[in-house]
Structure 1
Amino acid sequence: MAEYDKSKNFKFFQIKTKEKNKNWTISEMAKKEKNRAGEYKKSFLGFIFYNFLMFGSECESCFFVSNMDFDINIKKWQAYIEDKRNVKKEDIELYNTIKSRIEDEYKNDEIENFDDVFDRFIQNTFVLKSELQLDTYISQAKGEFFDSITKNISMKTAQFIFRQLVEDVRKKSKEKVHIPISFTKLIDKKGIDILNLKNQIDSKIIKQNDLGGFYFFLTNKGINNIIINDILFEKERHDLKWQNISMFKYQQIVMVLKEVIVDNFDKSIDQIYELCKKELNNKKYNYEMQIDNLRKLVEVLYYEYEYNNR
């Protein structure tokens, strides 16, 4: 993954998980493997070096992220550069060990400024051990995300921001590009524009919090006033639970209901209600403990979805 900012600098993130509980070593990170054609691929460190080689001064830094820890030599390397000390001056043996690996990997390439590129590489390549576990990373990521943005932001808003981000990343990850391609087109196809995402979120939040607009929307659909009042009453109860960070089980159930509604929006509310019950039973959710009137809640979510996506 790459992070690009207005200063026209890049930060690259190489992410590698493994199941064996064994610390990364320099030799493992610099190990070359063959591809299907029988040719050697670049190692993890080789790919990182390539970023500094290709992007020059525009490559600000690179990060190798893993679920496993790193051995003593890599930690020494990191200690030097985190303290802004020069690895070559501090530990010439470690410096040469890493350099010889990269030199061997690029021995068939004629790189005139190899030493300069390598020195930028070794002083600006960072390793990170993620605290996320492979079997629970989704729920952990959600929790950390909410913790990082819940500064006067409701759970309802946080949930929306999270879903919007995940949806955009998934969509972009499936986009295929064919080279040659302009940088502008590449960003459009593979990039997530944070400012544009913020504008989308602000627009959605205004709609979601507009109870008066929601009322007139229901009225224009020709729904009976008594039924509208029931829907608005249920919506207000739902909004309170949706914004209460302690109501996690309720919010999990609502997420399931919303998925069913989105996938089956062309069907009638009666049909969607039955599908919602079936899905909750399949997932073994004891929804009666969290929801007083499932039918009314499905109606609220159904009309909310229609209102927010007009």
Structure 2
Amino acid sequence: MSVVLTTEQREQAGSNSYNRFEYQVHWIVYHIIGKLQDDVECIVFCEFHDDMAEFSTDNQQYEFYQIKTKEQKSDWTIAEMSKREHNKKGDYKKSFLGFIFYNYLTFGTECSHCYFISNNAFDKEVLLWQAIIEDGKKLQIENVALYEKIKGRIKNEFTNNMPSNFDAVFDVFIQNTFVHQSDLQLTTYENQTKGEFFNYLSDKDISTNTANHIFQQLLNDVRKKSKEKINVPISIKRLIEKKGIDVAEISKKIDKNVKNSGNYNEFHQYLLKQPLTINDIHRIEVAKTLHDARWFDVTNLKYQEIVVVLRQVISTYCETFDIDGFDEELKSLCNQKLKKNNLLSESVDESLIEVLYYEQKYSRTN
């Protein structure tokens, strides 16, 4: 069985800072948007062995991400990235680089790459390390002094329990660990992430309300799964359920919304042919965008049930009576049925019933 799925996590506490946690949540969503843009199928895990882990469904390997923020505008150095602090027991815990090394040491070939992400930049020594390995060259050959410096810092963290394969694992670590300064700024990360999501949807036929609703659901899903605690061993199926975001499923959900939320231009043209005023048409279209957003919220079970009941009443009424437009009797029947099923709600008004009526008439016409 996978070592990643059977290894106890170092910690499950998550971030102890609200701002850091929200930055991390938004960075994960920002990362997912990038995968959607590139049409990459993968599964993102929130707070699993690291701040984020990404599982490739193609090669069955994991990439691990540390997401760190700094308030002060100072570049990250090798010394800072390998600085050790005391844990609650008073012992030294691993440094940022030490925890990354731990991933290669523990998970072996299941760990393909690791990343250190921050809102701040990196100093020239770190950038030199990165420039060499990004060009596919070996740091040990190109700059032995820098290689030995980083190796010495990591080795100091294993003074009392030196792994027998330390040298081999370090060579994998030093060639496959990448640092990156994020585009997300501490002061604007929320608007940046939302803007990137709407930019991704800019060429898709989807309402703003629905798009915003999907975005908020994605944020809340990442928040929830970042805080979810698990026990190992665990199946990949159960892990996805508890801590995973399947990028392919998000893509399918967006495509479904584009397909099913209605072609707004064609629906508008249909409404123009009905005995409606311009004000009525505008009111119905506004109500439709709100309905689409609510309908595709799979967690809003009561609203889903309300819509199912209303559609049944409207379908039966339209099959029984030959009517050319929405009328008071249909509205009355709908409200009676909802009351009978204890489903009367503030979510239900005349505009929603009208929307469902005209959607059904439109679909039958087409």
Unaligned runs of 5+ in 2: 1-51, 268-273, 304-342, 360-366
**TM-score between both structures, scaled by the size of structure 1:** 0.69
- Aligned match for 2:248, one of 174, 195, 214: 195
Matched residue type, 2:146: L
**TM-score between both structures, scaled by the size of structure 2:** 0.59
Residue deviations 1:23-68 (CA, integer Å, cap 9, x gap): 1000000001011111111100001111111111221111100011
Matched residue type, 1:60: S
**Contact 1:11–1:62, Cα closer than 8 Å, also in 2:** yes
Alignment of 1:147-166 (within 5 A): 147-154=199-206, 156=208, 158-166=211-219
Quote the offset at 1:235 in angstroms.
3.6
Find the counterpart in structure 1 of residue 118 from structure 2.
66
1:300 & 1:19 partners in 2: Cα distance?
48
User: CA separation of 1:99/1:235 partners in 2, compared to 1, >3 Å: closer, same or farther?
Assistant: farther
Quote the offset at 1:115 in angstroms.
1.0
1:194 & 1:32 partners in 2: Cα distance?
35
User: CA separation of 1:164/1:231 partners in 2, compared to 1, >3 Å: closer, same or farther?
Assistant: farther
2:243 is equivalent to residue 186 of structure 1: no
Residue deviations 1:145-176 (CA, integer Å, cap 9, x gap): 33345344546364344233223212212321
RMSD: 3.8
Alignment of 1:1-310 (within 5 A): 1-6=52-57, 7-154=59-206, 156=208, 158-209=211-262, 233-236=282-285, 268-269=345-346
Residue deviations 1:84-128 (CA, integer Å, cap 9, x gap): 111000000000000001111122224121111101111111111
Matched residue type, 1:118: F
1:34 alignment partner, SS class: coil
Unaligned runs of 5+ in 1: 215-224, 243-250, 274-294
Count of equivalent residues:
252
Question: Which gives a bigger RCO, structure 1 or 2 (Cα 8 Å, sep 6+)?
Answer: 2
User: CA separation of 1:186/1:107 partners in 2, compared to 1, >3 Å: closer, same or farther?
Assistant: farther
**Contact 1:23–1:69, Cα closer than 8 Å, also in 2:** yes
Percent of pairs with identical residues: 45
2:201 & 2:176 partners in 1: Cα distance?
28
1:12 & 1:51 partners in 2: Cα distance?
8
